[in-house]
Structure 1
Amino acid sequence: MLEIPDQFKEKFTRLLGEAAAADLFAALRQPSKKAYRINTLKEGRVSYSQEKPVPGIPHAYYGEVSGKDPEWTSGLVYSQDPAAMFPAQAIPVQPGDRVLDLCAAPGGKSTALGQKLAGQGVLVANEISPSRAKILRENLERWGVTNAVVTNADSASLSARFPCFFDAILVDAPCSGEGMFRKSEDAIKYWSQENVDLCADRQKEILTEAVKMLKPGGYLLYSTCTFSPEEDEEIVSWLMDEYGFKVLPIEATAQAAAGRPEWGNGAVSLENCARFWPQDGVGEGQFVACLKAAGENAQAFASVKKGREKKEKKKGKGSKNRLERPSKEEAGYISEAIAGFNWPESLATWPSQVLKSQDHVFVPALDPAQLKGIKILNNGLELGLLKKKRFEPSHQLAEVLGQVTQERVVDLDERDYERYLHGESLQVASGLKGFVLVSSRGLVFSFGKLSGKGQLKNYYPKGLRQ
């Protein structure tokens, strides 16, 4: 049985009262809920049950998915805690916006934001941990997002590059993780009031940098997976008092409880925050606040931005690190390798945008000059790699091309699909030759290369093989 820390029980009995606290403690001892979202950027049929929709989240359902199924490897579904789906749903994002997911790994919220943008505008998805940033990139790649920049940086480094830049910023902040008690033994093991206070200080540090990157009148979505007021209503109150943010109403479900003004600065608008308690039946614990910046927000940073741009313009003269366009010969190799595939409408002009960096060919989502000094894992769509007198298309491109109907496809049965995931080459019956898309149950998940004798060479990435 889950052992809840005594100090935690005392704290929330004091905050909630004995009856409500008892409901919370009982819920924390129940099994956690699993759910998944369907990727509307892609076409395909999901074999999982859709009998129990997650209330308030379009195309989301309760149920468990497998990382070995074609639905997962093709990026048609994403497994996510149902309550954790609400931050990306609550932030006002439209196609064409500039959006930042500041603490983005493993990528559940980033994939949802990329889906909202529908290939227009730009999504910067950042993660400070290198190992978690790699997972973030893999999830966005599988989801088929073409306009994302995946960065591995701290918030201060980003704010120096992007003052007053974003229309919307999502900060799902590192927290004490009280909402994860029934999913993670470590969350219980490391819980203490001292850690709650430490997390609150860290959240202010991160948000201080986030505010610098938000446009006047922009939206800031702040969320945690914890219950403590020190990390929730008190942080929102600090944003209101320090920076003049307004707390906007959130269209959530009937199961979401309102924020508690008495746990913050007393402002009635704190009721606009949404609290998801385990006993409410949606999912794990989640706190969500949608804030709007004042119209004069970040004017203090305008001079910083102007000064930085002027300095970089002068410094950038005669730079030896400029990216190149592929040569005419290289463009021929690229065209030959990927001829015959249908492209999403958002990438119709890719030939005029393509750049090359150390033989990597890509369509950038942001001008690489804007990203100088930041560790970049991915900028837009990686088309593939130039090799000696040939071109090898990327796994990301396969996942993107899976968004539209294709003719150059080899569809595998269940047995061959499992073999392909293991990294085996296959013998198939097909009249095609050269690079083809590989699918199972009609869901594209990889590239392969067919010889004239029907030998399908395996191009599924080694790091993803099962």
Structure 2
Amino acid sequence: MLPNLFLDRIKLILSAAEYNDFLASYEIERKHGLRFNLLKANYDTFKDKNIDNIQFSPIDWVNNGYFYENDNRPGKSPYHEAGVYYIQEPSAMAPAAYLDAKPGEYILDLCAAPGGKSTQIASTMNHQGLLVSNEINSKRCKILSENIERMGISNAVVTNEPPDNLTKIFPGFFDKIMVDAPCSGEGMFKKNLNATDEWSTENVEICSQRQDMILDCASKMLAPGGRIVFSTCTFAPEENEGSIYRFLKRHSDFKIVDVVKYNGMSDGNLDYYKKIVDSTNNSDFKDTINSELDYDFYKEELKKTIRLWPHLLKGEGHFVAVLEQTNNKIEKRNIFSSKNKNKKPKELDLYYEFFNDTISELPLDGKLELFKDQLYLVPNGLPSLSGVRLLRRGLHLGTLLKNRFEPSHALALYLSNDMVKKSVDISYDQAKKFIAGETFPCSKEKGWYLITVNGYSLGWGKMAGKVMKNHYPKGLRKNIL
């Protein structure tokens, strides 16, 4: 049941015919989508390995995204655990596509959990540059970190901080910033029925105020000429056109970028915001609208933003705005040195012994840093993060124990066959058993082996006698038979 007040608000901004189409969309089963992880695969390289016979059809607005039939279950596949693809609501793939991340850039995903947009951004960076993925909620941040690991991403740092804390560390630092803002979630009512119980107009207002703060923080961390992509999964005009309208009034050095809209996408409409504001007693919002003589100018500008309505395309509700900073006079970011300065190099002897025995190539820039007994390859260009809550400091290489080095699951998921000296490729059915924690007989020399399924890295195995011991993390083991 959709809240009556929510429906009244939708009826206020849509025409009668469009409102009826909007309601009818809730009677149609929602579309499912997945996005291939370009660090590992694309459709062309995957289609011959499509053992589950998933039926794909392309999503227009992202070149590696596909709809799949609702009776398919790609999440119950070893390929999912190997990070070959990420299951994601189709409309939610649009914002990161408009961010247009490129190799070598410094990028921030400010509200990143559970990781759909971060992993999409990283997939086009090709392990080059720096991605900082931040999430204020500690439980959601853990899920974010796990998804970064599963997709084999090497150049991401995962932080757990309020946005205003990050502004002190990264002033004018990032080329591009993704702000998938916390919102009232109206666009996810079909996907999450419980979301209707948490909805209220009071929460809409709280979310819009929070978005103002988050956008202001993002603007402080953007380098000259940089890009911010703002998105929500709600229909509420206060959180969409309203948030961008208020931001532009506070920040005259930003403009909206006029981007390509795909079939079914609609222009943003500032009149939606005005109609809602005029219908309420919120004096703050009314002052925002009525005090300006140049409303017509902003109305034209807001047409450059994007509305994704579920009755007009194959996806749920979303809003996207692409913003560009136009003031080249602001201070440029500092470039931080990443030279390797290991204070106790002898502590790394066990790592180098493992490396020389197992790895043929690790084509990454960065510096080795040891945190207690955990060894990381930290991306270049990262400033000091002393005092920052960190869940991931780059690529986790493994654990230095008393008399051995234990390689990490993250390292396994980053690696490919051509980067290791020792690997064993197992069948699809064997992979299901491996993920459940089973060992398997094998005739190989002693040592660590990268276990792959049809060429996709899955985890570590270690030979003991004639058995390949299973080093798939116990906390990730599951039965997907």
TM-score, normalised via structure 2 length? 0.86
Q: Cα 1:327–1:249, aligned 2, differ >3 Å: closer, same or farther? A: same
SS of 1:410's equivalent?
Answer: strand
Could you tell me how far apart the structure 1 residues matched to 2:169 and 2:181 are? 21
Contact 2:444 2:463 in 1 (8 A): no
Moved more, 217-226 or 359-368: 359-368
Q: Which residue of 2 aligns with 1:377?
A: 391
- Give, in whole Å, the separation in 2 of the partners of 1:257 and 1:461: 45
2:48 counterpart of 1:40 = no
**Structure 1 counterpart of 2:268:** 259
- Cα 1:209/1:367, change in 2 over 3 Å: same
Following the alignment from structure 1 to structure 2, what is the Cα–Cα distance between the partners of residues 276 and 14?
18
Look up the match of 1:436.
449
Check 1:404–1:344 CA distance in 2 against 1; reply closer, same or farther (3 A cut). Answer: farther
The residue identity in structure 1 corresponding to 2:228 is: L
Give the counterpart letter for 2:38 in structure 1. T
Contact 2:417 2:455 in 1 (8 A): no
Superposition pairs of residues 45-64 of structure 1, within 5 angstroms? 45=46, 46-47=49-50, 48-49=53-54, 51-63=56-68, 64=72
Aligned residue runs from structure 1 range 215-364, under 5 A: 215-244=223-252, 245-263=254-272, 265-266=295-296, 267=298, 268-296=300-328, 324-328=342-346, 330-338=347-355, 339-343=357-361, 345=363, 347=364, 353-364=367-378
Runs of 4+ in 1 over 6 A off after TM superposition: none
1:260 alignment partner AA = N
Range that drifts further, 47-56 or 135-144? 47-56
3-state DSSP of counterpart to 2:319: strand
Give the AA of the match of 1:146.
S
* C-alpha contact (below 8 Å) 2:443/2:467 kept by paired residues: no
- Matched position secondary structure for 1:67: helix
Aligned mates of 1:32, 1:403 — CA distance in 2:
38
Quote how far apart the aligned CAs of 1:204 are.
Answer: 0.9
Checking the alignment, whether the CA contact within 8 Å between 2:159 and 2:388 is kept in structure 1 is yes
Contact 1:217 1:292 in 2 (8 A): yes
1:189 corresponds to which residue?
197
User: Unaligned 5+ residue runs, structure 1?
Assistant: 310-321
Given that 2:358 and 2:448 are in contact with CA atoms closer than 8 Å, whether structure 1 keeps it comes out as: no
Q: Say if 1:205 and 1:5 are closer, same or farther in 2 by CA, change over 3 A.
A: same
The answer to whether the aligner puts 1:76 opposite 2:108 as a matched pair is no
Coordinate RMSD, CA, aligned: 2.3
1:193-221 per-position Cα deviation (integer Å, ceiling 9, x unaligned): 22111110111121121111111221110
Q: Secondary structure at the match of 1:161?
A: coil
SS of aligned partner of 2:149? helix
What code does the residue aligned with 2:470 have?
N
Deviates more, 1:163-172 or 1:35-44: 35-44
Residues 455/148 of structure 1: CA separation in 2 closer, same or farther (3 Å cut): same
Superposition deviation, residue 414 in structure 1? 4.2
Residue 157 and residue 65 in structure 1: after superposition, are their counterparts in 2 closer, same or farther (change >3 A)? Answer: farther
Per the alignment, residue 462 of structure 1 pairs with 474
Give 5+ residue unaligned stretches, structure 2.
Answer: 274-294
Question: Structure 1: which amino acid aligns with 2:352?
Answer: S
CA offset at residue 180 of structure 1?
Answer: 0.3
Worse overlay, 426-435 or 101-110: 426-435
5 Å-filtered alignment, 1:50-129, equals 51-63=56-68, 64-129=72-137
CA pair 201-403 structure 1, distance change in 2 beyond 3 A: farther
Cross-structure match for 1:9:
7
Report the Cα distance in structure 1 between the residues aligned to 2:383 and 2:342, rounded to whole angstroms.
13
TM norm structure 1: 0.89
- Partner residue, 2:290: none
Conserved 8 A contact 1:36-1:79: yes
Counterpart position of 1:25: 23
Q: Is the 8 A contact 1:342 1:401 kept in 2?
A: no
Aligned counterparts of 2:190 and 2:434: Cα–Cα separation in 1: 36
User: Is the contact between residue 221 and residue 289 of structure 1 (CA under 8 Å) also seen in structure 2?
Assistant: yes
2-structure distance, mates of 1:431, 1:66: 32
Q: CA deviation at 1:298?
A: 5.4
Counterparts of 1:155-194 in structure 2 under 5 Å? 155-194=163-202
**What's the CA shift string for 1:123-164, capped at 9, x where partnerless?**
000011111111111111111111110001111111111111
Measured against aligned partners, the alpha-carbon deviations of 1:314-356 in whole angstroms (never above 9, x if no partner) come to xxxxxxxx9845523x4332122232434353x1x56xx2221
Task: Decide whether aligned partners of structure 1 residues 298 and 33 sit closer, same or farther in structure 2, where only a CA change above 3 A counts.
Answer: farther
Residue pair 1:36, 1:65 contacting (<8 A) in 2 also: no
1:273-326 deviations in Å (ceiling 9; x for gaps): 111111122211110000001215755xx8xx99xx9xxxxxxxxxxxx98455
Is 1:387 the counterpart of 2:401? The answer is yes
Identity of counterpart residues, as a percentage?
37
CA-CA distance at 1:359 after TM superposition: 1.6
The answer to whether the 8 A contact 1:42-1:404 is kept is no
Contact 2:54 2:74 in 1 (8 A): no
The AA in structure 2 aligned to 1:385 is: T
In the alignment, the residues of structure 1 paired with residue 385 and residue 453 of structure 2 have an alpha-carbon distance, to the nearest angstrom, of 38
Q: Is the 8 A contact 1:110 1:125 kept in 2?
A: yes
Identify the residue that residue 276 of structure 2 maps to in structure 1.
none
Q: Structure 1 191/61 Cα, relative in aligned 2: closer, same or farther at 3 Å?
A: same
Aligned residue identity for 1:355: E
Deviations 1:26-45 (A, max 9, x none): 11232211111111111462
